[in-house]
Structure 1
Amino acid sequence: MPMTSSIARRAALPMAGVAAALMACLLMPATAGAEPVDAPNCTAADLAGVSAGVAASVSAYLFTHPDVNDFYTGLRGQPRDQMAAAVRTYFDGNPQAHTDLLGIRQPLVDFRNRCGMSEPDQPLLGQ
């Protein structure tokens, strides 16, 4: 059955919101004034490439796991502290989804470690 453009937009909006939230958390440094590291392949373009790959993988995961997609979509509009608590509670009850998303996110963790970048203050994976 072909997807109408309004259905496609409706399906894409929650994904765009989740992707934007993840990107914001991933790109925000945990500490201000960190010294830049001259490691190879640590440019803004490298970060954008790794982030794009992770975002595409998260999108595919959420589309193929509607329960997780519905959960993240339902976080829209909640205060950040309530989101963090909800994410922890959700993943306590759904450890496989947590493991899956941590694996999808691993290339960004590896990039940050290799390039001397700190983790965001409040990741959206309930860590």
Structure 2
Amino acid sequence: MGVISAPMAAAAPDCSPEAVNGTVSSVRGAAEQYLSTHPGANQVVTSAYGQPRGEAAANIRSYFTAHPNEYYDLRGILSPIGETERQCSVSVLPPHLESAYHEFMAG
């Protein structure tokens, strides 16, 4: 005798401005905390703000290629931003951070 089950309905995401801002704030806090305990990653990310985009991207790519565990840790921390953007059809970061986020997550 087979068991047939109905698919479970996924809960609709909370796309209210408060929920979206809460996600961004939480992710930013977690990323800052992570970077504060990983000085090499913090240095390369902080330095990127003052560098031309191509140079910053190359430096970040080089650092995280050499430190893949840190790359995957940060991807995991940052992933709720992408999930919120997809589920809610919004861009939650300022344009300069949005492009950096997508470049980092594409790696």
Name the TM-score, length of structure 1 as normaliser: 0.60
Unaligned runs of 5+ in 2: 1-11, 93-97
Say if 1:115 and 1:82 are closer, same or farther in 2 by CA, change over 3 A.
same
- The percentage of counterpart residues that share the same residue type is 33
Q: How many residues align?
A: 89
Shift of 1:40: 5.0
Give the AA of the match of 2:104.
L
Name the TM-score, length of structure 2 as normaliser.
0.70
Indicate yes or no: 2:88 matched with 1:115.
yes
Match of 2:99, as an amino acid? D
Q: Which runs of 5+ in 1 are unaligned?
A: 1-38
Q: Deviations over 1:21-72 (max 9, x none)?
A: xxxxxxxxxxxxxxxxxx7521222221000000110111011111211222
What root-mean-square deviation, in Å, do the aligned CA atoms of Structure 1 and Structure 2 show?
2.2
User: Looking at both structures, which has the greater relative contact order when contacts are Cα pairs under 8 Å and sequence separation is at least 6?
Assistant: 1
Secondary structure class of the residue paired with 1:121: helix
Asked which structure has the greater CA Rg, the reply is 2
Which residue of 1 is the match for residue 35 of structure 2?
62
Aligned to 2:62: 89
